[in-house]
Structure 1
């Protein structure tokens, strides 16, 4: 993607991260609905062109998307799609490419929430190696004359019960809707998304009062050094924390004052 499309996708990925950081949002269901919208816009080219028409007001396009999707998908999905069509896209196809990527990211996030992301990444890699070494299997999976249902059944026979459900869903979508890509390119793209997602950690930070920008930057930097990964801070305010701070990263919980914990993190890094 270039120019406006790259910026629109980056903003959409930030919105997706904010949504999936909320434990009340089912990332797996969100992924399935986004994949369904991708299929719809791939099929309805004229609709996709209307939703990406730079001559139309962004709010008007968002309202159209909401009307079309209302009752068909969750409000969360409809709002996310509406935000996408408000943005400017360099070309019409970029919108569906972005939707597909968001669907895959949501599925990978669901796997991460189950502590299964490493397995999914490994399974995608191994599946790619198997396909590249078996010309008959590759031909069957990429046969344009084969029915979509037959390809889906083949993937199920290969991965069902043997791989994580997320891996099976991702590979099934890729095989049944390659969208002009080679199987190898699609698997490589999925593996990269999984690796990118694995390098991102989320810290749930609860403080007695809103943190200042310098405090957020100091805490984020200290946690990133401590855990060795990019850290996203999900901030919450609870007066009962009594002037201190509570930080949860995965299953690990850190309690204490802001100053003490940042200094402690610095000492642990230095040591």
Structure 2
């Protein structure tokens, strides 16, 4: 879960995740509130460079930093979120930007915890929406259009997902609009990684010419889980171009058993 952080920042995130999970355990409402608050604080820190640098300055006493963030954010966020923020500024950070990134990361973890017993569905819905964004240029443009307000984009997300997706899914899709990442698709991909990490799962993107049956999915997931030593969540992409067979991408590994790949190999051998 801390693979994108290094050194002191990775240690800080690991500790804060433990504190967060203790804080929101068994309380989806608290988890949802804390998530929103932490994301709001992360957004504020990204916009206030002086405050961000002060909050991560290792030469400043922890008491001074916790006092300042208490004055700035006290009464604006929940006591639980403020407690986590104070704990965060009391830690050491490798780079100033890591604090805001960590708070956003924690906000995603909190929303996963809010989706009690529905983490697999959450992962599936995030992936499905990211595929829709990739496949529909008009939607992608609407969500990235700088001329449209954030509120307008959020209403569009509600129109598309409200009553169809989990509340955690809707909230994460709205968070992806904030511009933290280069594109909405990149943000959703990163959020999917966090969901999988919270569940201690790997993520495999499977390309096949047709939908796989539930039994085929189960057998593939079981085989990959045995190979990689932990549960693996499957993201299926139906791609007629593969003709037959499947292509599996998991981490840096690629297992290509598609007919199209074998045909390409045959063409290369004939051309050579």
Number of the residue aligned with 2:126 = 124
The 3-state SS of whatever aligns with 1:29 is helix
CA distance in 2 between counterparts of 1:148 and 1:69 reads 22
Instruction: Choose which of 112, 119, 142 in structure 2 pairs with 1:140.
Output: 142
Number of the residue aligned with 1:8 = 12
Rate the CA distance shift 1:150–1:91 in 2: closer, same or farther, 3 A: same
1:185 pairs with 2:186: yes
Number of the residue aligned with 2:195 = 194
Number of the residue aligned with 1:216 = none
Number of the residue aligned with 2:75 = 71
Correspondences of 1:147-166 after superposition (within 5 Å): 147-166=149-168
How far 1:68 sits from its partner (Å)?
A: 2.1
Correspondences of 1:14-93 after superposition (within 5 Å): 14-21=18-25, 23=27, 26-93=30-97
- Once the two structures are superposed, residues 243-268 of structure 1 have per-residue CA deviations (whole angstroms, 9 ceiling, x without a partner) of xxxxxxxxxxxxxxxxxxxxxxxxxx
CA distance in 1 between counterparts of 2:66 and 2:29 reads 21
Runs of 4+ in 1 over 6 A off after TM superposition: none
Contact 2:39 2:107 in 1 (8 A): yes
Rate the CA distance shift 1:116–1:45 in 2: closer, same or farther, 3 A: same
CA distance in 1 between counterparts of 2:108 and 2:53 reads 23
- Once the two structures are superposed, residues 184-236 of structure 1 have per-residue CA deviations (whole angstroms, 9 ceiling, x without a partner) of 22111111111122348xxxxxxxxxxxxxxxxxxxxxxxxxxx989xxxxxx
CA distance in 1 between counterparts of 2:39 and 2:109 reads 11
1:108 pairs with 2:121: no
How far 1:72 sits from its partner (Å)?
A: 1.9
CA distance in 1 between counterparts of 2:200 and 2:53 reads 35
Contact 1:199 1:229 in 2 (8 A): yes
Number of the residue aligned with 2:176 = 174
Contact 1:141 1:151 in 2 (8 A): yes
- Once the two structures are superposed, residues 30-53 of structure 1 have per-residue CA deviations (whole angstroms, 9 ceiling, x without a partner) of 111111211221222211111111
**Can you give the 5+ residue segments of structure 2 that lack an aligned partner in the other structure?**
202-228, 232-272
Contact 2:39 2:103 in 1 (8 A): yes
Q: How many equivalent residue pairs?
A: 200
How far 1:26 sits from its partner (Å)?
A: 1.3
Number of the residue aligned with 2:224 = none
Contact 1:52 1:95 in 2 (8 A): yes
TM-score calculated relative to the size of structure 1? 0.69
Q: What is the Cα-based RMSD across aligned positions, in Å?
A: 2.1
Contact 1:19 1:25 in 2 (8 A): no
Rate the CA distance shift 1:82–1:147 in 2: closer, same or farther, 3 A: same
Contact 1:123 1:167 in 2 (8 A): yes
- Once the two structures are superposed, residues 150-204 of structure 1 have per-residue CA deviations (whole angstroms, 9 ceiling, x without a partner) of 21111111111211111011001111x121422222111111111122348xxxx
Rate the CA distance shift 1:137–1:23 in 2: closer, same or farther, 3 A: closer
